[in-house]
Amino acid sequence: MGGAGGTRPPSPKRGRPRREAAPAAPGLARAAWEDRLWGPGFTLPGGEAEALRLAQLLPLSPATTLLLFGQDAGGAAQAIARQSRAWLAVHQHDPALAARMAPLLRPLGKRAALQGWDPAAPAFRAGFHHHALALEPLRAGAAPAALAGAVAAALKPNGQLVLVETVAAGAPPGPRFGRWLALEDRAAPPPGQAAVEAALLAAGFTLHVTESLGGRQDAAATEAWARLLAGLRGAARPAAGAAAAALVTEAEAWLLRHRLLESGAIAVLRWHASLRS
C-alpha cells in the first residue's frame, strides 16, 4: 500500500472544509411542500383559481380597499391585488406566514400593506375597509363573536364579507381528531356552523349565501397530491431528510382532513354577508 512500488492514497485537498447544509426547520420544510401543492404563497387547496373565485364575489375595484386575513402566505393577496387592482390591507398573525408573504407583496408597493393581528383580541382599522375576505381565520384561535365584531367595526357601511371557515359538523370526530388538531396547529376544535352564524348576525351582518366548500377543497387537494406524487415518481431520487419527513406530515394532515370531511365530522363553508347600515 504505502511501500515502494505500491499505490499511495490520494493526498487530501487543501482549503476550507466543506460546510454541510443546515437541515430545514419543520415549518419551513412543510411550507415548501405547500408551495408545490397549491402554488407559491398559497396555503389552501385550489390555489390561485380558488382565491380569485372567492374575491370575485366581492365588488372590488381600484377604488376599494380589501381587508384580507387568515390562511394565506401571500399568494392570495398577490393574485387578488393584481387581478382586481384593489388596495389590500393584509393582516397575518403568524410570523412564519408573514415572512413568506413579504417578498410576494413587495412588488405591489403601496397597494398591499402587511400588518399583524391578535387572534386573542382581534382588531382592525375601524371603518376603513370597503370589503373583507377571511380565509379560515378561526384556525388561529379567535372566538367567532370577537372576530365578527372586529370585522364589522373595520368595514364601511354596507361593506361585504366573504368568510371561509372549517366548522364542526356534528358527527363523532373519531380517535385521530386530536392528531388532526395538532397538525393544523389548532388549540381547540373548530366551532359549529350555528355559532359562526350567530356571531355574524349579532355583529350586524345579513347572511346572503352559505356554500359548502368541502367537496371543492377535497377534489382540489386530491388533484394536487396526485400531481405532486407523479412528479416525485418521475424524479431521479426522492426527497430525503427533513423534506421527506415534512412531506409525510403534510400528507397525514390532509388525509385526516379528508377522512373528517368524508365522515361528516367537519365541513368547510363559505358565507357571503353584508353589513347592515
In a domain, 234, yes or no: yes
pLDDT above 70 as % of the chain: 88
Residue 4 pLDDT > 70: no
- In terms of DSSP H, where are the helices of the chain? 26-38, 47-55, 75-84, 95-105, 144-154, 177-183, 193-202, 214-234, 242-263
Mean pLDDT over 153-174 rounds to: 96
Q: Does the pLDDT of residue 21 top 70, yes or no?
A: no
**Average of pLDDT values for 178-194?**
95
112-115 sheet: strands from edge to edge? 112-115, 87-91, 65-70, 129-135, 155-168, 266-275, 205-212
Query: What CATH number is associated with residue 57?
Result: 3.40.50.150
Per the CB < 8 A criterion, the answer to whether 170 and 66 are in contact is no
Average pLDDT of the chain, as a whole number: 89
Q: Is residue 217 part of a domain?
A: yes
Domains held by the chain: number: 1
Q: Is residue 116 situated within a structural domain?
A: yes
pLDDT digits 0-9 by tens, 105-124: 999 999 999 999 999 999 99
pLDDT score at 5: 40
- According to the model, what pLDDT value does residue 232 have? 87
Residue 54's domain comprises 26-275
165 is a domain residue: yes
Mean pLDDT over 81-107 rounds to 96
In a domain, 5, yes or no: no
Query: Rounded to an integer, what distance in angstroms lies between the CA atom of residue 131 and that of residue 151?
Result: 9
The mean pLDDT of 81-93, rounded to a whole number, is: 97
User: How confident is residue 27, by pLDDT bands cut at 50, 70 and 90?
Assistant: low
Instruction: Give one word for 231, left, alpha or beta, with left for phi > 0 and alpha for psi -120 to 50.
Output: alpha
Length of the chain: 277
Strand partners, 135: 70, 164
Q: Cα(first)–Cα(last) distance of the chain, in Å?
A: 92
Q: Give me the pLDDT at residue 29, please.
A: 84
Confidence of residue 277 (pLDDT cuts 50, 70, 90): confident
Residues 6 or more apart in contact with residue 71 via CB below 8 angstroms: 43, 44, 97, 135, 136, 137, 139
pLDDT at 83: 97
Strands 65-70 and 205-212: unpaired
pLDDT of 223 over the 60 cut: yes
The whole-angstrom separation of Cα 171 and Cα 135 is 24
* CB contact at 8 A, 77 and 69: no
> Which pairing describes strands 129-135 and 65-70: parallel, antiparallel, or unpaired?
parallel
- Residue 20 within a domain: no
pTM: 0.88
Question: What is the Cα–Cα distance from 45 to 253, expressed in whole angstroms?
Answer: 13
- Does residue 13 belong to any structural domain of this protein? no
Is residue 241 predicted with pLDDT exceeding 90? no
